[in-house]
Structure 1
Amino acid sequence: MSHHSSEDSKPHFEQGPVQVLFGERGGAYPDGNSILVRGENETLLIDPAVGLHERAENLPQIDRVILSHCHEDHIAGLSLFPDTPVHVHTLDRPGLESLDQMLAIYGYGGPIEAAFREILVKTFHYAPRPDAQTYADGDVFDAGGVTVRALHAPGHTRGHSCLMVEWSEAGAHRRLLYLGDIELTGFGPYYGDAWSDLEDFERSLSWARDVEADWYATFHHIGVLEGRAPFLARMDIFEGAIARRETNLLKFLAEPHTLQEVADHRFVYRPGDDVSFAEAVEKRSMQQHIDRLVTAGRVRALAEGRYQAQ
C-alpha cells in the first residue's frame, strides 16, 4: 500500500528503518524508486535512481550501496557515491567494469548501441566502478538492527536479485521484499537483452510467489503493496503477459513468418511505441518463445528462416 503526502504528489512509504524514495510518476522509467535502509551502524541505499541527483543535498550519509542488478536505471544515481562501497551480484559485476562491458549486457550492436552508449553517460551518469564488491544468493548485509538478504532471481539479467529487508518492531518480525524489476505491471516481464532469459525469469516468478513478506516493493510504477493478496493479484497480471505474448505469437504464426516479420508485428511493445531498441528486444524476446515452441512441437521451422504453428 502506498501512502500519499499532502506536500506533493509523490507517494510516501516509511516503516521502521525502511523508506522508499519514490521517483517521478511513481518511479516510471527512466526514474525509479530507491530504498533507504537506516540501521544502527550503517545506512544502506538500494538501487540509486536517476532522480536522486535532484535531491542529493537531502540524502543522509550513505555507507553502502546495494544493486539488485546492473541496468542503467538502477545505477543512475551511483555516481553520487564514488567513494561508497557498492555491491552487486557476481554475475552482473562485469557491467560495472567498463562502458563496453555494460553495453554487452544489452547486446544491441550497430547504430542503436552507439546511440545508447551516449545515453548511458549523459542521461544515466554511467561511470565505471571496478572496485565493486560482489554478493551471492543468501548473502546478508547487517546494518545493525536491520538486515538485507540477497535472493538471486535471474531472468531479467543473469545476476538480477531480490532483496529481503528484515527487522523487529514492537516484538514483531517485519519483512519487506524488494523485487527489483519484477515490477508487477501489465507490461509484463522484460527478457529482451543479451543477458536475459525467459525460462529463468519464469522460474524466478514461480519462486517469488512463495516468498512471505509484510510488504512488496518494486523499482517502477507499483511502489509498495501491503500483504500477499494484492501482491499475488499483481503477479497474476505481470506473469500473464508471458502467456499472452505466446498465445498471440501462435495466432500470428498460423501463416508462415520470419523472425523479422514477428518483430515488426510487435508482441512486447505496442505498435507505434517510439522505442529505439524495440526491434532488438522484440527479436530476442520472441526468438526465445519460438525456440521453445519448436522444441515442444507446436511450431515448425520452414525454409528461408520462416516459422509456422502446427
Structure 2
Amino acid sequence: MSAANNIERIVTSGTFELDGGSWDVDNNIWVVGDESDVVVFDAAHTAQPIIDAVRGRNVVAVVCTHGHNDHITVAPELGRALDAPVLMHPADDMLWRTTHPDSEFRSVEDGFVLRAGSVEIRALHTPGHSPGSVCWFAPDLQAVFSGDTLFNGGPGATGRSYSDFPTILESISGRLGMLPGETAVYTGHGDTTTIGDEIVHYDEWVARGH
C-alpha cells in the first residue's frame, strides 16, 4: 500500500490563542483513507478546504489530535457538514470548552482503533504538549500523525498552560520512539519527517531541558 495514495494534506491559516497571546499559524490537516472512506485529522481554521478535499467520501471521524484552538476551530462545523463524529481525548476537555463551550466531542482513549477502508489507525496517548495529545499510528502506511507532539526538528512546545517538557519527552521516547525508524511523521505544522531522523536527537532534547 502506498502512503502517498492514502494521505492528503490541506494547509489552512489562522491564529493560535492561549494564555492571552495570539500567534499566526499555518496548520496541516490530513485526510487519510481510500476512495470510499477517510479520517480527517484536525479541523483547523476554515472548514471549506477540508470539505473540498474529502470529495464526497464517507468520513469515519473528524479526529482532533489535541484541544488547542487552532486544531479544533471548525470541528463541530465539520462534524455536522460531513455527518461524522468528532473525536478527542477527554484530558483536553478544558481546552475544548474554551473554544466550543456549547458543543460536544466523543472521547477516545489510548489504544482506540479507527478503520477507514483498508487503513487501520491506532491512538497513542502522548501527553506533554497538552494532557490529551494523541498521535495516531497507521502501520500499513508506515505513518504516524503526530499533531503537535513531534515535529521536523524536535518536540512540540511546552511553555504554555497544561504542557510539560519532561512529559512530552517521556511520550516521545516511550511511545513514538518504539515505532519503526522509517515511520513517516505527519505533523500538525511544517514538514514531514521520520521517527528515525528525530529520535537520534533525543539526548540533545533532554539536555536542552536542564
Show structure 1 runs of 5+ residues with no match: 1-12, 100-125, 168-173, 247-310
In structure 2, relative to structure 1, the CA distance for the partners of 1:238 and 1:127 (3 Å cut) is farther
1:145-156 aligned within 5 A: 145-156=118-129
What is the alpha-carbon distance in structure 2 between the residues aligned to residue 190 and residue 135 of structure 1? Answer: 23
What one-letter code is carried by the residue in structure 1 that aligns with 2:198? R
Secondary structure in structure 1 of the residue aligned to 2:49: helix
Consecutive unaligned residues of structure 2, counting only runs of 5 or more, are: 14-22
2:151 match: 184
Q: Name the CA distance, whole Å, in 2 between partners of 1:243 and 1:138.
A: 31
Q: Which residue number corresponds to residue 16 of structure 1? A: 5
Conserved? CA contact 2:41–2:62, under 8 Å: yes
Deviations 1:99-134 (A, max 9, x none): 2xxxxxxxxxxxxxxxxxxxxxxxxxx434643111
2:169 counterpart (179, 199, 202): 202
Structure 1: distance between partners of 2:12 and 2:91:
27
Structure 1 window deviating more from structure 2 (231-240 vs 78-87): it is 231-240
Question: RMSD of the alignment, in Å?
Answer: 2.9
Structure with the higher fraction of residues in helix conformation: 1
Identical positions, percent: 23
Native 8 Å contact 1:44 1:66 kept in 2: yes
TM-score in terms of structure 1 length: 0.54
For 2:36 and 2:50, the matched residues in 1 are separated by 21
Going from structure 1 to structure 2, the CA distance change for 1:175 and 1:195 (only over 3 Å counts) comes to: same
1:42 shift after superposition: 3.1
Amino acid at match of 2:28: N
The structure with more strand, counted as a fraction of residues = 2
Larger radius of gyration: 1
> CA separation of 1:57/1:197 partners in 2, compared to 1, >3 Å: closer, same or farther?
closer
Partner of 1:55: 49
Deviations 1:24-60 (A, max 9, x none): 6xxx95221111013466321001222x446256232
Aligned length: 192
The answer (yes or no) to whether the contact 1:140–1:147 under 8 Å persists in 2 is yes
Q: Contact 1:150–1:162 at 8 Å: present in 2 too? A: yes
Question: What's the secondary structure of 1:163's corresponding residue?
Answer: strand
Within 5 Å, which residues of 2 pair with 1:34-53?
34-39=29-34, 42-50=37-45, 52-53=46-47
Taking structure 2 as the reference length, the TM-score comes to 0.76
Q: Which residue of structure 2 aligns with residue 104 of structure 1?
A: none
SS of equivalent to 1:137: coil
Question: How big is the shift at 1:158?
Answer: 0.9
Higher relative contact order (CA 8 A, sep 6+): 2
1:237-294 C-alpha deviation (Å, 9 max, x unpaired) = 5773452353xxxxxxxxxxxxxxxxxxxxxxxxxxxxxxxxxxxxxxxxxxxxxxxx
Q: Which runs of 4+ in 1 moved over 6 A?
A: none
